[in-house]
Amino acid sequence: MKGDERKAAIASYKERDDVAGIYQVRCAASGEIDDHGAESFAFAVLERLADEESSFVRDALLKERVAHWRSALGAQAI
């Protein structure tokens, strides 16, 4: 990657939109994480959070919502 291409890639990365939220990864074969291969995994968006000016507020809200979804789904962190 040349200098100008690198600078453009970095600028593009910094300008991307981040979407904070709660996401679920599930294995269709067993309902959990296992050795069935990448094609058996499903990715789902459970909840998206509104944009927050403060990263402290966003992080606190994410921790609260993760705890809620883990409890509601009986899920484990991976």
Q: What is the pLDDT of residues 28-74, one digit of tens each?
A: 777 665 777 778 888 888 998 888 778 888 889 999 999 999 999 88
Inside any domain, residue 38: yes
**12 CA to centre of own chain:** 20
Residue 4 lies in a domain: no
- In terms of residue numbers, what domain contains 62? 19-73
Residue 62 counted as domain residue? yes
Beta strands in the chain (DSSP E): 21-27, 41-48
Q: How many domains does the chain have?
A: 1
Note whether residue 9 is domain-resident.
Answer: no
Residue 14 in any domain: the answer is no
Name the pTM for this structure.
0.60
